[in-house]
């Protein structure tokens, strides 16, 4: 049996096992299984791969997308430039890292932008692993952006600096923080939501629940909203392609 799975910290609510179980059933794939491998700390990674010698591939999630880098033998140029890995392939005795979040995000955002004819600058909320993939995708797409983080740096805004005017003129707002993710469904990024209107597009990378507090706040003000489910499916399919190459 070929083994695949997901490493991360609190992953018991992840959609990935059911996504792959459904895919294997629908496509008649009988030689593969996909499991959750929760890791208390990233230094447990080597023990995990020693215990599971039939592992062919892993997805990596919060909070290990960056911390995994020192454990890899090879890294794709794209993942190296992003600085985050969400897909690992075991082949030829080597541990190889890739980033498929960027592919998933870019396709999902592009379909929204063409539907609504957007031409605006963006705010990226959060500066973790997924944010790095979003930054890479926006650079590829030629969309200017500002990162909003809890930590002040020269080129980032903090939430307290996010005044009404800034939110009003950046029509694309992308949540890459885990705020609002199940079971913390009542939390959301700290924005002046009254500055959001019907010209805004709120993209939440969170996909559980289907409609997050961030999205609901946008809907109440007439904004277009999208969650991260399409991105999740796209990045998972891309991981599968990489594992089969």
Q: Which of 57, 97, 218, 228 binds ligand NAP (CB under 6 A)?
A: 228
According to CB under 6 A, which residues from 184 to 203 bind ligand NAP?
A: none
Residue 129 touching ligand NAP (CB under 6 A): yes
User: Beta-carbon neighbour count of residue 146 at 10 Å?
Assistant: 15
User: At which residue do the structure tokens 């200017």 appear?
Assistant: 144
Q: How far apart are CA 109 and CA 92, in angstroms?
A: 35
Q: Which of 17, 38, 63, 83 binds ligand NAP (CB under 6 A)?
A: 63
Residue 205 touching ligand NAP (CB under 6 A): yes
Mark whether 65 is an active-site residue.
yes
Residue 137 touching ligand NAP (CB under 6 A): no
Residue 109 touching ligand NAP (CB under 6 A): no
The nearest distance, CB 176 to ligand NAP, in angstroms, is 5
Encode 161-228 in three state secondary structure. Answer: HCCHHHHHHCCEEEECCCCCCCCCCCCCCCCCHHHCCCCCEEEECCCCCCCCHHHHHHHCCCCEEECC
End-to-end CA distance of the chain: 18
Four-point Cα dihedral 3, 9, 208, 87, nearest 10? -40
Residue 151 touching ligand NAP (CB under 6 A): yes
Q: Which of 179, 223, 225, 226 binds ligand NAP (CB under 6 A)?
A: 179
Complex with ligand NAP: residue 5 or 228, whichever CB lies closer? 228
Residue 58 touching ligand NAP (CB under 6 A): no
Would you name the residues annotated as active-site residues?
65
Question: By the criterion CB under 6 A, which residues form the site for ligand NAP?
Answer: 61-63, 65, 101, 104, 126-131, 149-151, 176-179, 181, 205-207, 228, 231-232, 235
């Amino acid at each position: 049996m070929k083994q695949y799975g997901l490493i991360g910290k609190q992953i018991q609510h992840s959609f990935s096992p059911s996504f792959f179980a459904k895919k294997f059933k629908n496509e008649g794939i009988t030689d593969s299984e996909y499991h959750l491998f929760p890791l208390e700390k990233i230094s447990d990674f080597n023990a995990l791969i020693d215990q599971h010698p039939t592992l062919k591939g892993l997805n990596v999630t919060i909070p290990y997308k960056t911390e995994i880098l020192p454990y890899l033998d090879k890294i794709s140029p794209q993942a190296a430039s992003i600085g985050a890995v969400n897909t690992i392939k075991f082949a030829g005795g080597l541990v190889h890292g890739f980033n498929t979040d960027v592919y998933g995000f870019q396709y999902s955002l592009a379909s929204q932008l063409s539907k609504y004819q957007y031409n605006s600058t963006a705010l990226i909320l959060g500066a973790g692993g997924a944010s790095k993939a979003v930054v890479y995708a926006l650079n590829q797409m030629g969309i200017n952006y500002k990162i909003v983080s809890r930590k002040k740096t020269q080129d980032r805004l903090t939430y307290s600096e996010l005044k009404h005017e800034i939110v009003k003129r950046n029509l694309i707002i992308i949540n890459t923080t885990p705020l609002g993710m199940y079971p913390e469904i009542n939390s959301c990024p700290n924005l002046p939501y009254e500055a959001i209107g019907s010209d805004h597009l709120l993209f939440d990378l969170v996909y559980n629940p289907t409609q997050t507090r961030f999205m609901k706040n946008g809907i109440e003000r007439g904004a277009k909203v999208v969650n991260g489910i399409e991105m999740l499916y796209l990045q998972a399919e891309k991981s599968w392609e990489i594992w089969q190459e």
